[in-house]
Chains A and B, each alone.
Chain A
């Protein structure tokens, strides 16, 4: 197929980073990503400590707030997810304790995991729980980003939750189905410019389980990367690593499959952006709603944190109970019902114009993935507006993380200095337009997948393209006009 993303990058273009020298041996070492996890653990220890001792209410002058919500969050949106998929999850220290308990060790391989190893309930094997947990977390955004102790509570909840769930459920069930930051990383990593896939599907097909099993004298049912072996664990994220038709969404990039594959057949690929969105596999309403909610939440966050309306801030800050409840209800209704409702009208139009025999639900779900590039760009635009204006706080808190009067790097008295704020709107517009271009391009490809012939696809594409364009214009007006 000679399909191209944005007419530039061929869909099937890949470059295997592990073909560079050393990269593969690094990824195959059991010290990777362990060492990075330990490093991040150190950082998060300081963050947690700063959340408790670093000042009662000095929101923007707190190490925990600054590093979690200004640096980490912005890095996720700006760098990690768009370029490296779920690379954060590979180095995340939060569920590490749970995992070490399951493994009863740090580096050794012991494929019988400690704990009850229950299967996650089938009805919950989707994003809904994460959607609601994330929505719930956004109710407290006013506290999370201004009260250090709230950040401490959230992070501790994630750590304790992962420890408890790891002892009850198998492998990384917590990360797959509960972590509030997992859902959006999964959804937006569809866009990522890297992926972990097998190098040569032919090798996997010929990876004859039974011969090898016979040679070893045991009855293996599955291939090494699925089952685990003496060099590494079975995929902790319950993926089938050699499946070529999977998306980045549920691969936590833990690199275990690099360690287990006896044929060195796993690859860490560079690829064109957004290719996963074209893959017509396992699309679902849960991910569709994630896409709606993320875009809606970006709009609300912008209004609260970068908008001029005092009453909204008082709502989110829970100045009065009534205000806080109005915030929760308006926020939830918009993100769960109104915004998806508007999109439904457009997909209804698309369904009617395109005259497809497919059920309306399919059309709705398929096209909802066009919101992913635009949604990520909306978050990038939001993040850019925060980091350039308030990034200078980082320079202060890194010298005095607990507000105890330290001056580690000599920058404790660095004043608040907004940086390049005149350029921010242009970056936001550029990002949003790029998002629109990608969204339109993906929409176009999805239309051809969804409708029988091209005539119908064109007709069915009109309403969706109009929706995407109007949404982009609205966002550009909101952010910069």
Chain B
């Protein structure tokens, strides 16, 4: 009798690991990846689906961050901050379902536009957001 109950408990634990454990595990892994460096997640979406989100990113001068741009859209987008020289020499092209990671340490303060560099819809030229870099 005792043995049977232990077996039941083992089986139950296996099920919990496969479900709740898997979910917790994925979030922990994601957290671990994000802890390497301060991470800001930006969603890239064509204008019809909501544009860049968030449309405004606040950074602090001299503080290293990682921009993680998730393209959850169905078309390719690009990413560039022309005034900061990001995505100019090496164009950043993010295919649908893909993610681009850009590590930067802002050195200039001010407000800069970040833009999409791939023709993604008729309203593509309006796909812009703002980066605000403040003093330390």
Contact = CB atoms under 8 A, between A and B. Distances in A.
Interface of A: 34-35, 38-39, 41-42, 45-46, 49, 55-62, 105-108, 396-397, 400, 402-406, 412-413
B99 A107 contact: no
B12 A106 contact: yes
Given A56-B45, A56-B49, A405 B68 contact: yes
Contacts of B73: 56-58
Given A56-B49, A57-B74, A108-B8, A42 B97 contact: no
B104 interface: no
Contact of A38 (B18, B71, B97): B18
Contacts of B33: 405-406
A55 B19 CA distance: 21
Contacts of B98: 61, 400, 403, 405, 412-413
Contacts of B95: 61
A403 B99 contact: yes
A55 B30 contact: no
Interface in B99-114: 99-101
A396 B99 CA distance: 12
B40 to A, nearest CB: 13
A107 B11 contact: yes
A107 B99 CA distance: 43
A41 B72 contact: no
Given A56-B45, A58-B73, A405 B15 contact: no
Nearest to A408: B29
26 contacts: A39-B18, A42-B17, A42-B19, A46-B22, A46-B26, A49-B23, A55-B70, A56-B72, A56-B73, A57-B72, A58-B71, A58-B73, A61-B95, A61-B98, A62-B97, A106-B15, A107-B7, A108-B8, A396-B97, A400-B97, A400-B98, A403-B99, A405-B70, A405-B98, A405-B99, A412-B98
B84 interface: no
Contact of B99 (A38, A45, A60, A404): A404
Contact of A49 (B18, B26, B99): B26
Interface in B38-95: 45, 49, 68, 70-74, 95
B131 interface: no
A61 B96 contact: yes
B94 to A, nearest CB: 10
Nearest to A401: B26
B136 interface: no
Contacts, number: 86
B97 A55 contact: yes
B11 to A, nearest CB: 4
Contacts of A38: 14-15, 18
Contacts of A105: 8
B4 A61 contact: no
Contacts of A35: 14
Nearest to A397: B97
Contacts of B7: 107-108
A39 B95 CA distance: 31
Nearest to B45: A56
A402 B26 contact: yes
B97 A405 contact: no
Contact of A107 (B8, B19, B101): B8
Contacts of B74: 57-59
B113 to A, nearest CB: 24
A218 B45 CA distance: 70
Contacts of A402: 26, 30
Given A404-B70, A405-B70, A61 B11 contact: no
A413 B101 CA distance: 13
Nearest to B69: A405
B4, B49, B95, B98 pick with most chain A CB within 10 angstroms: B98
Contacts of A49: 22-23, 26
Contacts of B26: 46, 49, 402
Contacts of A413: 98
Given A57-B73, A58-B74, A405-B68, A41 B19 contact: yes
A59 B99 CA distance: 15
Nearest to B72: A55
A58 B96 contact: yes
Contact of A34 (B11, B23, B45, B101): B11
Interface string B10-37: 0110110111001100100110010000
Contacts of A61: 95-98
Given A58-B71, A106-B11, A404-B70, A45 B97 contact: no
Given A45-B19, A400-B98, 18 more contacts: A34-B11, A38-B14, A38-B18, A41-B19, A42-B17, A45-B23, A49-B23, A49-B26, A58-B97, A60-B96, A60-B97, A62-B97, A106-B8, A108-B7, A402-B30, A403-B70, A403-B99, A405-B68
Contacts of B4: 108
A138 B75 CA distance: 26
A406 B25 CA distance: 13
A41 to B, nearest CB: 5
Nearest to B14: A38
Contacts of A397: 97
